[in-house]
A and B are shown apart, each in its own frame.
Chain A
Amino acid sequence: MSPSSSTAPAPAAAPVAQKPATMAQALNQALRDALVADPAVHVLGEDVGTLGGVFRITDGLARDFGDDRCTDTPLAEAGILGTAVGMAMYGLRPVVEMQFDAFAYPSFEQLVSHVSRMRNRTRGALPLPITIRIPYGGGIGGVEHHSDSSEAYYLHTPGLHVVTPATVEDAYGLLRASIASDDPVVFLEPKRLYWSKADWSPQEPREVPPIGRAVVRRSGRSATLITYGPSLPVCLEAAEAAKEEGWDLGVVDLRSLVPFDEETVAAVVRGTGRAVVVHESAGFGGAGAEIAARITERCFHHLQAPVLRVAGFDIPYPPPMLERHHLPGVDRILDAVGRLQWEEG
C-alpha cells in the first residue's frame, strides 16, 4: 500500500529562491522541497498545473514533477478536498490549493464532517495528513468573494490545525511543517504578503518552526499587540509609530491559531499588563474574542486594562474602493492602545 514513486520524471535540481525572496517564492520552494523529500506528497487544485496557480505559488511544479504530482483538477472544491481524503486514506500526503478564501466554502462539509474527524472516528487508524492551502484576507483590491478572512470558521472545528505565516521565512518553514504533520492543516496564506520580500534563502539551514508556537516579534514593556498573518506588518508599524507617543509596544505573532500558544501569550501579557488583539476578520465571534477571553482567564490579576480588540467591522467584506476603512490600520491600533486606561495604571 505504500505509494511508489509516480511515473513523472525525476526532478532535476529544484530552482532555489534567490535573495531577496518573496513569500510566494518561499511557498513555492517549500512545495518543491516537500515534493522532492517525500514521494507521497501530491499537489492538487484549480489552475495549479500549467498556469502555476493564479498567484503562481505552484509555478513550474507540474513541469518539474509531472501532472501526477501537481494536478489541475476539475473546478469543484468539495471534489478537490473529498478526493484528497481518499488519497490520504491510501497513504498519500495531499496538498490542496483552494484558489481564494471564499471559494473554499463548497469544501466545508468535507472539511468539517470528514477531514477534521476521520482520525478520531477511526480511533487513530485513519489519520488524514492533508494540507489545505487557502489564500486569505484583503488589501489587494479584490472584488467581492476574493478578500475574506475565514479563519474563525476553521478554528472552531476540532481536529484541524490552523496555521498562518506572516513572514517569508515562516511561509517556508510552516508550510514544510504543515505538510509533514500527520494532522490536517488549514494553511492560511495572507495574500497581500505574497509579494513581501526578505533576505532569505532556504539553502541556509534553519530550524523548521514547530506548529503551535507563537513568536515575539518585538519586545516591549508598555503593552502587547497580539496578531497573526496579514496584520503583523501593520502591528510592527504601529509599534514603531507608538514610540512617538512614549509607548514601548511588544508584538506577538501567533503563527498558529490552532494549536493556540497560550503559554507564550500569557507570559508576555503578564509582563506588560495590557494587550490588544489585532486581526482583519470580523470581530464578533472572531479569533480575537477567544484570545481575549483566554488572556483574561489566565492573566486577570496582571491586567491593568481590559483586553481590547481591533478587528474588521462586522460587515460583509467591503468593495476595494472602501476596504482601507475596514482593515485595521496603524491609527486604529494606536487609538486602541490609547484606551488601555493609562491614567489609572
Chain B
Amino acid sequence: MTVLDTPAWRPRTEAGPLLPDAAPFRLLGTPEAARLAPALLTELYGQLVRGRRFNRQATALTKQGRLAVYPSSTGQEACEIAAALALGPRDWLFPSYRDTLAVVARGVDPVEALTLLRGDWHTGYDPRETRVAPLSTPLATQLPHAVGLAHAARLSGDDVAALAMVGDGGTSEGDFHEALNFAAVWQAPVVFLVQNNGFAISVPLAKQSAAPSFAHKAVGYGMPGRLVDGNDAAAVHQVLTEAVDRARAGRGPTLVEAVTYRIDAHTNADDATRYRDDDEVAAWRAHDPVDLMERELTGRGLLDDALRQRTADEAEALAAALRERMHDEPRLDPMELFAHVYAEPTQQLRDQEAMLRAELEAEQQS
C-alpha cells in the first residue's frame, strides 16, 4: 500500500465502459431496425423530407437576397431532426449557427429562427418560451451555457436536460474542453452532440484532430462516448434519446459523435470546389439520410406512393409558406437598437438615442 493506492490517486472512473464502439452505431438496413416502431420511422421520414426542403429553400433565399447568409445542413438532416426530437418539452436545445433546422424541428417558427441570418439584430424567438438558446456563432461557446443551465436545473430539483450541438471544428476550441470537464465534474444532465461533417469551412478532419474519434475524447473527461452513423436518423435518435434519458436519470453527461457530411459549401459565400473533390461528395450522396430512411420504409412496406406524395406536398407547402413570408422586407426600428442594451439605458445611451431620432426625423422630412 502506497499513497498511489489511496482514493485520491486511484482512477476516479473506470475507462472501459466509457469507450465508444469501434464503428459508428447503425440501425437502418440492419436486422435491429425491425423492432423500430413504424410511427417513429414515418415521423422521422416526414421530418427528413421537410428538413431537406427547408435547407434547399433557405439556400435559395440567400440567392434572392432574402437571407444575408445560410449555413446549410444539407446532408446532416438526420442529426438536426434527431436532436430536436430527442428532447422533451421542458428540455433545452443549444444550437450552433448551422443548426437552424434543429431549431425549426423543435417547433420554433421558421421565420423567427432565421431572423439573425436575415440580417436582423436579434434572435427572433424567445429562448425561455421555446427552450431553445440563441444560435451561437462563436464556436463552442454555447457548450458551457448548456452545462450551466443543466446544472441549475438539477440544483433546482427540476427534471430538465440540455442538449448542446457543436461541429468537428468546434471541438478544437477551449470552451469545448472546459464545458465537458465542468459537465463531468458536476454530473450535469447534458448531452453533447458533435456533428462531425468532415470540414471546418475548408479544413479537413485530419488537420483538426488526431484523436481516434471525437467520441473517444469523452473518456478523458469521465463520461461515456457514443459513436453513431450521423446519416441514420433512427440510430442518432436512439443514441440521443438514451443519452438524454441517462442525463435525466441523474447519471451525468454523454458525448455523442455523429459521423456525417456537409454536402453543401460552408455557406453560400463559400466555394467548396477549392478544397474537396466531387468523388468524395458523390460517395456521401450515396449514403444520404433521406434515402437511407426511404429504403428502410420501402423495405418494410411502410412507404407507398400516396405517403411519398403527401410528404412531398407537405414539404412544398412549408417551402412556399416560407418563401411567401420571407418575401416581405422585415420592418426594423433603428430606435430599438438602444432599448435592450441595459435594463435602463444610461444617460449616454439616451443622448445617442436622441441624436439618432433627430437624424431619422430629418431624413423623413428631406
Contacts and interface: CB of A to CB of B under 8 A. Distances in A.
Interface stretch (A120-128, A137-145, A235-243): A120-128
A158 interface: yes
Contact of B155 (A3, A114, A263): A3
A89 interface: yes
Interface string A253-274: 0000011101100000000000
Contacts of A87: 148-149, 151-152
Interface stretch (A13-21, A57-65, A71-79, A323-331): A71-79
Kindly state the interface size class of chain B when it binds its partner.
35 or more
A123 B179 contact: no
Interface in A280-317: none
Given A76-B178, A86-B147, A120 B152 contact: no
Interface stretch (B127-135, B192-200, B309-317): B127-135
A3 B157 CA distance: 8
Contacts of B121: 120-121
Contacts of B348: 259-260, 262
A121 B122 contact: yes
A120 B138 CA distance: 16
Interface string A1-41: 11110100000000000000000000000000000000000
A212 interface: yes
A259 B148 contact: no
Nearest to B182: A79
Given A83-B148, A86-B152, A123 B141 contact: no
Residues of B contacting A: mostly: helix
Contacts of B353: none
Interface string A61-101: 00000001000011010110111111111111010000000
Contacts of A92: 152, 155-156
Interface centre among B122, B149, B340, B348, by most A CB within 10 Å? B340
A124 B340 contact: yes
Interface stretch (A105-113, A165-173, A332-340): A105-113
Interface in A152-169: 158-159, 161
Interface residues of A, number: 52
B143 interface: yes
Contacts, number: 151
A37 B339 CA distance: 30
Contacts of B122: 120-123
A129 to B, nearest CB: 9
Contacts of A94: 148
Interface centre among B138, B150, B151, by most A CB within 10 Å? B151
A248 interface: no
A85 B152 CA distance: 10
Interface in A197-225: 212
A78 B178 contact: yes
Nearest to A91: B152
A174 B98 CA distance: 41
A292 B185 CA distance: 48
Given A78-B178, A125-B128, A110 B156 contact: no
B174 interface: yes
Interface centre among B134, B157, B162, by most A CB within 10 Å? B134
Given A85-B145, A113-B138, A122-B134, A6 B343 contact: no
A56 interface: no
B9 interface: no
B125 to A, nearest CB: 9
Given A4-B156, A121-B122, A82 B134 contact: no
B341 interface: yes
A91 B153 CA distance: 9
A85 B179 CA distance: 12
Interface in B306-354: 336, 339-343, 346-348
Nearest to A116: B341
B175 interface: yes
B78 to A, nearest CB: 27
A192 interface: no
Contacts of B341: 119-120, 158-159
Interface in B164-192: 174-175, 178-179, 181-182, 185
A259 to B, nearest CB: 4
Contact of A86 (B128, B144, B336): B144
Interface of B: 116, 121-123, 126-129, 133-134, 138, 141, 143-153, 155-158, 162, 174-175, 178-179, 181-182, 185, 336, 339-343, 346-348
28 contacts: A1-B128, A3-B152, A6-B156, A73-B182, A74-B178, A74-B182, A78-B144, A78-B178, A79-B179, A82-B141, A83-B147, A86-B145, A86-B151, A86-B162, A88-B148, A89-B127, A89-B145, A90-B152, A90-B156, A110-B175, A114-B145, A119-B342, A121-B134, A123-B339, A124-B339, A125-B126, A259-B346, A263-B347
Given A82-B175, A86-B149, A92-B156, 16 more contacts: A1-B158, A78-B174, A82-B144, A83-B144, A87-B148, A88-B148, A109-B175, A118-B134, A119-B342, A121-B116, A122-B122, A122-B134, A124-B340, A127-B343, A258-B346, A262-B348
The 6 closest A-B pairs by CB, nearest first: A86-B148, A82-B144, A79-B178, A83-B148, A86-B149, A90-B152
